[in-house]
Structure 1
Amino acid sequence: MTNINKVQHRSLFIQNIRGVFKLSQYLKLGDDLSPVQLVAHGDNGTFKVMGGCSWANADDEFNSEFLRSRIEPWLTALFQSEHLNLLVGAGLSSAIQESATGQRPQGMGWIDDLKVCKSEIDAYVEKTAKAAGREKGNIEDQVRSINELIKGLEILVSLNPTPIPPPPAPNPPYRYFPTELTALREELSRCLKLFADSISNGENLIRNAESEAKTKTFNYLINFLMSFSSRAATRDRLHIFTTNYDRIIEMGAELAGLRLVDRFVGNIAPIFRSSRLEVDYHYNPPGIRGEPRYLEGVARFTKLHGSLDWYSSDGAIRRFGLPFGAASITPFLQAESAGAADYQQLMVYPNSVKDRETSEYPYVELFRDLASATCRPNSTLVTYGYSFGDEHINRVLLDMLTIPSTHIVIIAYGDPLGRIMNFIKDSGRKAQISLLLGDHFGDLTTLVDCYLPKAAIDRTSIRMTELLKARGLYPESFQDKSGNKK
């Protein structure tokens, strides 16, 4: 792409960001009985309420500053819950890639040239995609279907496992399952390679983006992560969950100096461990012996669907060294397998749509972490870019809401299939759900600049406010419009 095209793409992206007020937004905070619809009023970035609500009349006109005065304190209070969890979906990866490159991500794609059982697999993919509420399937559905078909063929060939040349075909011809099973396994490796390449390509586009845009994008990612992880060290650690396979969160945490604690142990080839030890970071203050203190800037991290750099080897799950944005992962897989790259051992499993597949190792451990972290009293879960398309995750969230002191904050750019609204309606716990939905609230730049709490542990402001109140000097935020002290 030429520099002119890059500038044009970047310009179009900026115009889209500036035009975020053209679509309806939905907002629901603590005192709202149901989501309040906001619509743009003119081109000056102001809103009006559709149908009225408890905090605004239908004729009232307000801007993002007014919304911030409602949203930011509410989120700040929720972020100080005893237990705070963040669930990140594909929306974050899409936002980062679009911000850095000025181009919308291509999506997961579709494999048109399946060589074995193409018509059957395509028909099954279409059926399951519609059952999941999607218009069409993607490569994840194809890989999942191939996996299921392989399991079925393994049963059919259990009495004749050796693939040999089939006998002359009768009229009409019959299918020779051992040969099809061998060919299908080869197709699975090819499809997983294409799937992994699409994930790696997204990282590569971000790494090779224009320097200024990339720096700005990662700065927003850093502030996004630190808004959640800026908790006092004496509180329970933030726990980050993601359904993504890429390493964008890991990259942002590394740039932010945020230490991530996961289940992997080791240095050269870290291995996944089932033990749930409460491993943490401590330090010794100068001049104090025997009283270690918790280190700030630490978060727990769980990738629910696997990762681009996870590899199954000798019955164990290992994380291998894969640079962010590598042009190809084949050389690294070859080094891990001491020969040909085996993509079937790569733990980018798009199979978790089916409940039975989440019972397989290591996914059973990962989903136990999700349930144990969220389903406990005084717990808050924030979702960003998660479309509520995974029923096994939604079920955990519904169980979480059965505890009265829990709360879910949903932040999303859009809800094209209506899953988010259906989840709120079907949960029966609207009082425990907050919603920021739309291309204004869901835009990463707007969210960080306007609505998320300050990305720092701000003890100084608290002490200053207490000092001013003790002296009888109230800051402006403690006065009403007439100047009277509150």
Structure 2
Amino acid sequence: MVMKAHGYVVGASAQWWDEFPAEGDEQQKIIRESRKAIEPWLSAVFQAEHFNLLVGSGLTTAVGFAAGSTATNMGKIKFGTKHDAAIDKHADAAAKSMHRGAANIEDQLRSALAVLEGLEVLDPDEAAGVRKAIDSKLSEFLESLLVTEHGIAHGKDKEKTTAAASLLVSFLLSFASRAASRERLHVFTTNYDRLLEHGCDLAGLRAIDRFVGSLNPVFRASRVEVDVHYNPPGIRGEPRYLEGVIRLSKIHGSLDWHFNDASHQIVRKGIPFGAGVKHSEVPKNPLETVMIYPNPAKDVETTEFPYADLFRDFAAAICRPNSVVVSYGYGFGDDHVNRVLADMLTIPSTHLVIISYGVDERLKAFLGKVGRAAQTTLLIGPHFADLANLVEHYLPKPSLDHITGRMTELLKNRPDAKQSSE
């Protein structure tokens, strides 16, 4: 498949452009023609029996841009130790082996943690210095996440922050507004920030995850199939699913997930969205407490517990017949995620929708590896991946818009003569 800077592949329709018109009649003509192909196709795809949304850092970047705020930089860092060169070399090799392209902070943290583990055996005194350096960089990373959140929620330009919030709500409702008789939308994200939770609060969506409890929510393995029902007035013994409920899994952890050393449990701390970096619940030494990948948090057993369970949820949700995954802002740089997506596409009735700002070697490598063009929908380029354009022109309207649905049905059934007389 020949892919250019802008284009789409939806079913039997495909269009590609080297340059997309910036404005004017030509752009509007292309948008109208593209919408005729894309919106009905996505509307049909979104009604799949099992529906999943995979969100990467691109969503935070898009919402942050709309709010006039910058997103967290995932680029390489310097730990300031004599092992930095070895850490960088190992991180670069790991990124290359996973087809990630250039290494980023996550690759460096994995390598730094491997160095720390070795030094704790060979030279505990030197290990203390490396641990302090990792703690310092993790603290800076957490602070940058909170600064990004603050810019999205409380930016200086109130008009922009309001518009960004509206875009986020519209984006989520396009996916979450499924009939309550259908299985819940399951949202998976590799992000550490709480943008999705913030969007659910704004949209009035109830998010079901593995945490149980009000004052001190605890990560539980036994609460996977919990749902929300209600009893309609006058009907007994026939509970119905509540509308506006989604499932949420943060497969790389979250900045407010902390390991409780006393109880050996993962708890969610009450850190407000966009809280200041000096908030009392933000730890000063996050290495042994904050549960963000690839933090070992005390021991291998604890590491395997949250992340292994979350990836089992991911595989169980998408690797089944009649399942659809829509990815937005995910760069296909995580081999463990790509492997599950590739396994899903071995089932003929599954489908993958990729919405990406651009085409890089990681995306090309994934598409070349899976080779399932008939099961893949592509929306590529700055125009199609732009959050405002996507929400306004291409994503289907929420399926629970009863007023629009009834109006359409009335107009369809109304005699032409009566219509013309009015």
- Contact 1:38-1:47 at 8 Å conserved across structures: no
Aligned to 2:40: 73
- Which amino acid in 2 is paired with 1:455? P
> How much does 1:469 deviate?
4.5
Aligned to 1:385: 329
2:235 to 275, 288, 296: 288
Residues of 2 paired with 1:470 and 1:25: CA distance?
Answer: 40
- Which amino acid in 2 is paired with 1:222? V
- 1:424 equivalent in alignment to 2:367: yes
Structure 2 unmatched runs, 5+: none
- 1:218 equivalent in alignment to 2:162: no
Inter-CA distance 290–445: structure 2 relative to 1 (3 Å threshold): same
Aligned to 1:38: 17
- Contact 2:258-2:266 at 8 Å conserved across structures: yes
2:126 to 180, 185, 190: 180
Q: Secondary structure of the equivalent of 1:63?
A: helix
Inter-CA distance 100–420: structure 2 relative to 1 (3 Å threshold): same
- Contact 1:41-1:47 at 8 Å conserved across structures: no
Residues of 1 paired with 2:370 and 2:99: CA distance?
Answer: 18
Aligned to 1:483: none
- 1:64 equivalent in alignment to 2:31: yes
> How much does 1:108 deviate?
2.4
Q: Secondary structure of the equivalent of 1:408?
A: strand
TM-score by length of 1: 0.78
Aligned to 2:380: 437
Aligned to 1:96: 63
Inter-CA distance 367–41: structure 2 relative to 1 (3 Å threshold): closer
Residues of 1 paired with 2:7 and 2:164: CA distance?
Answer: 25
Residues of 2 paired with 1:294 and 1:74: CA distance?
Answer: 27
| Greater Cα shift, 365-374 or 205-214 | 205-214
User: 1:262-304: per-residue Cα shift (whole Å, max 9, x none)?
Assistant: 0000011100001244211112222333322111100000001
Inter-CA distance 208–149: structure 2 relative to 1 (3 Å threshold): same
- 1:318 equivalent in alignment to 2:285: no
Q: Secondary structure of the equivalent of 1:28?
A: strand
- Contact 1:270-1:319 at 8 Å conserved across structures: yes
Aligned to 1:167: none
- 1:366 equivalent in alignment to 2:332: no
Residues of 2 paired with 1:135 and 1:425: CA distance?
Answer: 16
Inter-CA distance 207–139: structure 2 relative to 1 (3 Å threshold): same
- Which amino acid in 1 is paired with 2:347? I
- Which amino acid in 2 is paired with 1:202? T
Inter-CA distance 448–357: structure 2 relative to 1 (3 Å threshold): farther
Higher RCO (CA 8 Å, separation ≥ 6 residues): 2
- Contact 1:143-1:191 at 8 Å conserved across structures: no
Aligned to 2:345: 401
Inter-CA distance 41–216: structure 2 relative to 1 (3 Å threshold): closer
> How much does 1:455 deviate?
2.6
> How much does 1:78 deviate?
0.7
> How much does 1:183 deviate?
2.0
- Contact 2:211-2:220 at 8 Å conserved across structures: yes
Residues of 2 paired with 1:297 and 1:406: CA distance?
Answer: 24
- Contact 2:101-2:361 at 8 Å conserved across structures: no
Inter-CA distance 474–303: structure 2 relative to 1 (3 Å threshold): farther
- Contact 1:82-1:235 at 8 Å conserved across structures: yes
- Which amino acid in 1 is paired with 2:385? G
Q: Secondary structure of the equivalent of 1:253?
A: helix
1:194 to 140, 149, 164: 140
- 1:26 equivalent in alignment to 2:7: yes
Q: Over aligned residue pairs, what C-alpha RMSD do you find?
A: 2.7
2:358 to 389, 414, 427: 414
- Contact 1:86-1:240 at 8 Å conserved across structures: yes
- Which amino acid in 1 is paired with 2:348? P
**Aligned ranges 1:255-334 → 2 under 5 Å:** 255-313=202-260, 314-328=263-277, 331-333=280-282
> How much does 1:243 deviate?
0.3
- Which amino acid in 1 is paired with 2:161? K
Aligned to 2:293: 349
- Which amino acid in 2 is paired with 1:378? N
Residues of 1 paired with 2:26 and 2:302: CA distance?
Answer: 43
Inter-CA distance 132–439: structure 2 relative to 1 (3 Å threshold): same
| Greater Cα shift, 321-330 or 71-80 | 321-330
Inter-CA distance 206–461: structure 2 relative to 1 (3 Å threshold): closer
> How much does 1:146 deviate?
1.3
Aligned to 1:56: none
Residues of 2 paired with 1:383 and 1:122: CA distance?
Answer: 30
Q: Secondary structure of the equivalent of 1:204?
A: helix
Residues of 2 paired with 1:120 and 1:357: CA distance?
Answer: 27
> How much does 1:194 deviate?
1.7
- Contact 1:139-1:195 at 8 Å conserved across structures: no
| Greater Cα shift, 179-188 or 377-386 | 179-188
> How much does 1:308 deviate?
0.7
Q: Secondary structure of the equivalent of 1:66?
A: helix
Determine which structure has more spread, i.e. the larger CA radius of gyration. Answer: 1
Q: Secondary structure of the equivalent of 2:106?
A: helix
Inter-CA distance 200–425: structure 2 relative to 1 (3 Å threshold): same
- Contact 1:116-1:183 at 8 Å conserved across structures: no
Q: Secondary structure of the equivalent of 1:219?
A: helix
Residues of 1 paired with 2:150 and 2:20: CA distance?
Answer: 40
- Contact 1:465-1:475 at 8 Å conserved across structures: no
User: 1:132-164: per-residue Cα shift (whole Å, max 9, x none)?
Assistant: 44554332222111111122334x44xxxxxxx
Residues of 2 paired with 1:29 and 1:187: CA distance?
Answer: 48
- Which amino acid in 2 is paired with 1:345? T
Aligned to 1:235: 182
Aligned to 2:54: 87
The number of equivalent residue pairs is 410
- Which amino acid in 2 is paired with 1:252? G
> How much does 1:192 deviate?
1.6
Inter-CA distance 203–319: structure 2 relative to 1 (3 Å threshold): same
- Contact 1:240-1:300 at 8 Å conserved across structures: yes
Q: Secondary structure of the equivalent of 1:235?
A: coil
- Contact 1:272-1:316 at 8 Å conserved across structures: yes
Aligned to 1:13: none
Q: Secondary structure of the equivalent of 1:228?
A: helix
> How much does 1:384 deviate?
0.3
> How much does 1:70 deviate?
0.8
